[in-house]
Amino acid sequence: MTTTTLERPVTVQPNSPLFLIALPVHLLHCVAQVVSTDPVKVSINKISLYREDSAGSGEITLAATDGHRLLRIVLPAGSTQIGELEPGQRLIIDPAAFKKRPLTNEKTIELFADGTAEIVNSSSREIKKVFWKTTDTKFEFPNYDQLFPDNFHNKPEAPFAFNPSYLLDFLKLAKQYGSNLVVKWRMNAATTPMVQTFHVDSKWLPLEGEVTVEHLLMPVQIRT
């Protein structure tokens, strides 16, 4: 780890917690907005952080869903600082610490194996400590990749309907973090998932790389 990457020097102390990964903290805030708030739905009231299962791969995927909408963010190699997070390893993250939007100067979060995390303020050098690990880990996170259509023809051929609060939540994120205030909307039939995307402005990304936020929204079924 370098001071450029994490905005502060890192000294490994004896018995210090194992460093797993550092990534843009505002992206965790984005996915935290769509987790389920139902305490019974254990498998979808958390955030998934997954490292691609191939040797040497540095691709990281953040995902969360409440069963009606899903947010997926793929961070390409080089856009995060990977420590001891193994290929194919998934972290199940408690969203509580990330519901509130971080300060503008809080760019990077470091996750450690003991369940602690540190958010670094690039201006004041203040370090905020939070907890990311959840005790509910004995479940399988939904296979979110299979929900995204392989292609879109963008001809719904019928009126489509959606929950306005879900769309409003996503548009707020796009306005705050988007690079050009443009949201792309792709669809097929009026009864299949719709996907909205925006590119993250580089000022929210401490490292290099182009990052896209994908929002999959299930349409409301209209009875005729």
Q: What is the mean pLDDT of residues 162-182?
A: 93
Per-residue pLDDT at 60 exceeds 60: yes
pLDDT tens for residues 133-155? Answer: 987 777 788 899 999 999 999 88
Query: Residue type at 154?
Result: N
pLDDT at 202: 93
Among the listed ranges 10-14, 32-36, 128-132, 185-189, which one has the minimum average pLDDT value? 10-14
Helices (H), the chain: 3-6, 25-32, 164-177
**Residue 184 backbone dihedrals phi, psi, to 5 degrees:** -95, 140
pLDDT at 14: 61
Distance CA 144, CA 147 (A): 6
**Residue 100 backbone dihedrals phi, psi, to 5 degrees:** -80, 135
pLDDT tens for residues 8-28? Answer: 444 455 678 999 999 999 999
pLDDT at 222: 67
CA 52 to chain centre: 15
- Alpha carbon distance, N-terminus to C-terminus of the chain: 59
pLDDT at 219: 85
pLDDT tens for residues 80-104? Answer: 999 999 999 999 999 999 999 999 9
Distance CA 78, CA 112 (A): 19
Per-residue pLDDT at 2 exceeds 50: no
**Residue 26 backbone dihedrals phi, psi, to 5 degrees:** -70, -25
C-beta of residue 130 within 8 angstroms of C-beta of residue 40? no
Q: Tell me which H or E stretch contains 32.
A: helix 25-32
Per-residue pLDDT at 47 exceeds 90: yes
Give the position of tokens 């540190």. Answer: 118
Q: What is the mean pLDDT of the chain?
A: 88
Per-residue pLDDT at 5 exceeds 50: no
Q: What's the pTM?
A: 0.88
